[in-house]
Amino acid sequence: DSPLLRVEDLQVHFPGRRGSGGLVRAVDGVGLEIHHGETLGLVGESGCGKSTLGRAIVRAYRPTAGQLHYRRADGGEVDLAGLGERALRPYRQEIRMIFQDPFSSLNPRMTLRDIIGEPLKVNRVARGRALQERVAELLTTVGLRPEHMSRYPHAFSGGQRQRVAIARALALHPRLVIADEAVSALDVSVRAQILNLLARLQADLDLTTLFISHDLSVVRQLCDRVAVMYLGRVVEVAPTEELFARPRHPYTEALLSAVPATHPSRRGGRDRIVLEGDLPDPSDPPPGCPFHTRCPYAVPRCSTERPAAVEVAPGRTAACHFADELHLRGAGQAA
């Protein structure tokens, strides 16, 4: 069946540095499908455009070009990329974002009732007694106690605050949740609890999640499929275990090689691939394959011809001229 969201040739450009006259191509032609009920991981180095893509999907940014084909609950389809604020309103309820930092994203002067209840109030979904009851229910859903609703964020730990942020995101029964580094600010033990919570909510609430993270081990634990971004483009998409076992894009191989194995004994001679050079300036992306300035396998063709994303196996795509020929190393079975 058709995906819940189909991103097509999406571009999000920002004005470059003052006087440069250039454009920062933060998202530079992304195609991606998010299926109903899945958790899709979105990985890549900082600056690769993954947060910008997430924010464009929730329409915090208006895309410069391209489409966001969203399947509505009634089965119809709408392109969110072109909608004005008024037409967007119902979809702003259905597509919600969870941010990284539970300290700065919660207003310290608001009680949990006000924080979690705000989307209900703003969208005139509930007020008074009904609002209280929904907030109590949401607190229970995320593993907090209803009697906490009259307290302020400072009374809670980082993990508890992230639960509050999740409760707030869930308030309007979203169909699609964009989690941007949602557990990255948390300690390892707390992180595991929040990951368990997200996995449970996923199953219980029939959620679809785009899970943006720079942490590959977390993505490997939580996600069904993974999309890898480099310099504003999606370079590879695959089911999680297939991606880790056998990457098909040289950038994915390099990214995986930088992850320490969970069990040191399994590290067994796999060397880290150190990429040469820095991430190129997104206001002046290299011609041809965006990865050619750092790719260990690059040949002259790579610097002139842009590789299209092609299906390299059922359900797998890679944007490399040699995706079918290269024998790349995976991250082994450790996790």
Other C-beta atoms closer than 10 Å to the C-beta of 177 total 25
Nearest approach, Cβ of 304 to ligand SF4 (angstroms)? 11
Q: Which two tokens stand for residue 242?
A: 């297939």
Contact string (CB under 5 A) for Mg ion, positions 9-48, x = contact: ----------------------------------------
CA-closest candidate to residue 95, choices 124, 43, 121, 60: 60
Q: Which is nearer to ligand SF4, 156 or 291 (CB)?
A: 291
Q: Which is nearer to Mg ion, 51 or 202 (CB)?
A: 51
Instruction: List binders of ligand SF4 among 186-205 (CB under 6 A).
Output: none
Does position 100 bind Mg ion by CB under 5 A?
A: no
Contact string (CB under 6 A) for ligand SF4, positions 73-102, x = contact: ------------------------------
Q: Which is nearer to Mg ion, 51 or 293 (CB)?
A: 51
Other C-beta atoms closer than 10 Å to the C-beta of 32 total 21
End-to-end CA distance of the chain: 31
Sheet strand arrangement including 95-98: 95-98, 176-180, 208-212, 39-43, 225-230, 233-239, 316-318, 310-313
Does position 51 bind Mg ion by CB under 5 A?
A: yes
Among 171, 179, 238, 295, interactor with ligand SF4 by CB under 6 A: 295
Q: Which is nearer to ligand SF4, 209 or 252 (CB)?
A: 252
Nearest approach, Cβ of 239 to ligand SF4 (angstroms)? 21
Among 291, 312, 328, 331, interactor with ligand SF4 by CB under 6 A: 291
Does position 250 bind ligand SF4 by CB under 6 A?
A: yes
Does position 44 bind ligand SF4 by CB under 6 A?
A: no
Q: Which is nearer to ligand SF4, 199 or 310 (CB)?
A: 310
Instruction: Tell me which of Mg ion, ligand SF4, none is bound by residue 195, counting a contact when its beta carbon lies within the kind-specific cut-off of 5 to 8 angstroms.
Output: none
Helix axes 158-170, 128-141, angle to 10 degrees: 130
CB-based contacts of 74, cutoff 8 Å, min separation 6: none
Q: Which is nearer to ligand SF4, 110 or 298 (CB)?
A: 298
Does position 244 bind ligand SF4 by CB under 6 A?
A: no
Cα torsion 130, 136, 139, 143: sign: negative
Nearest approach, Cβ of 292 to ligand SF4 (angstroms)? 4
Other C-beta atoms closer than 10 Å to the C-beta of 38 total 20
Instruction: Tell me which of Mg ion, ligand SF4, none is bound by residue 51, counting a contact when its beta carbon lies within the kind-specific cut-off of 5 to 8 angstroms.
Output: Mg ion
Q: Which residues bind ligand SF4 (CB under 6 A)?
A: 250, 289, 291-292, 295, 297-298, 302, 307, 320-322
Q: Which residues bind Mg ion (CB under 5 A)?
A: 51
